[in-house]
Chains A and B, each alone.
Chain A
Amino acid sequence: QSALTQPASVSGSPGQSITISCTGTSNDIGIYRLFSWYQQHPGKAPKLLISVAGKRPSGVSNRFSGSQSGNTASLTISGLQAEDEANYYCCAYAGNDTPWLFGGGTQLTVL
C-alpha cells in the first residue's frame, strides 16, 4: 500500500485561507472514508487536528476543518496565523491489513 499523496509545501499570508489535499485511492479514502489530520511543529510530536469523525479535539481552533471528495481528503485552514506554520499529515484507514496509512506530509509556510 503506497503512502497517501500530499503536496510537499503550501504557503499563504496571514489572514488568508489555504487547503491541503491528501489523495488516496478507492482502496482507502474512497471506500472507507476514515481519515484524520495532524499538525507537527519541528521537534515536537504530532497533534490531532481533525478526528475520523470530522471533529476537532478540545482546544483545536475552529479555523481548521476537514472534508472529503471521492479519493481525496482536504484540510482547510482559514485566517492563517503565524503559529500555523508547521508540517501537516493526513492518515487514512486502508483495511485491516493496513489500518493506518500516512501521507507524505505538507510543510505550511506563513509568509
Chain B
Amino acid sequence: QVTLKESGPVLVKPTETLTLTCTVSGFSLSAHAMGVSWIRQPPGKALEWLAHIFSDDEKPSSPSLKSRLTISKDTSKNQVVLTMTNMDPADTATYFCARSLNYGEDFDFWGQGTQVTVSS
C-alpha cells in the first residue's frame, strides 16, 4: 500500500526558512524513475507545482521559485525534504507531496497535505 505523509511546522514567521518532510511507504525512493514532488495550494486557489526529486537525484524545480527551493531525499529513511527560504505571507498554503514515475507523468498517489501559515 502506497502512502505519503507530510509533516512540518504549522506556523512560520516572515523571512524564516520552511522545512517540510514527506515520509513515504509502499515504494522505494531508489526505484528506477521513481520520484516525489512538492505541490502547494494557497487557500481557495489552484495547485502549484514546486519541485521534484527523482531516484537518480535529478531535481527540477519551478523556475519562479527555484532560487528559494531545495529538495533532497534520504532513501534510508524513506523521506523527501523540501526547504523554502525567505518565507512570505503569500506562501501561506497547504503543501502536498505526491508520487510521479517520470518527467511529465501523472501524480498517482498524494499525501493528505500539511497547512502552513506565514505570519508574524
Contacts and interface: CB of A to CB of B under 8 A. Distances in A.
Nearest to A32: B104
A20 B96 CA distance: 24
B108 A46 contact: no
B52 A45 contact: no
Given A45-B112, A96-B60, A99-B60, A51 B106 contact: yes
Interface in B79-120: 96, 98, 100, 103-108, 110-113
Interface in A42-69: 45-48, 51-52, 57
A92 B47 CA distance: 12
Chain A, interface size: which category?
Answer: 20 to 34
A93 B98 CA distance: 16
Contact of B111 (A34, A45, A100): A45
A91 B107 contact: yes
B63 A103 contact: no
Given A93-B103, A99-B52, A100-B37, A51 B112 contact: no
Contacts of B112: 45
- Label chain A's interface by main secondary structure: loop
B102 to A, nearest CB: 9
Contacts of A97: 60, 63
Given A45-B112, A45-B113, A100-B107, 17 more contacts: A32-B104, A45-B96, A46-B47, A48-B108, A51-B108, A52-B104, A52-B105, A52-B106, A57-B108, A91-B47, A93-B103, A96-B60, A97-B63, A99-B52, A99-B103, A100-B39, A102-B39
Interface of A: 1, 3, 32, 34, 36, 38, 45-48, 51-52, 57, 89, 91-93, 96-105
20 contacts: A3-B46, A32-B104, A34-B105, A36-B106, A45-B96, A46-B107, A52-B104, A89-B46, A89-B47, A91-B107, A93-B103, A96-B103, A99-B60, A100-B37, A100-B39, A102-B39, A102-B46, A102-B48, A102-B49, A105-B45
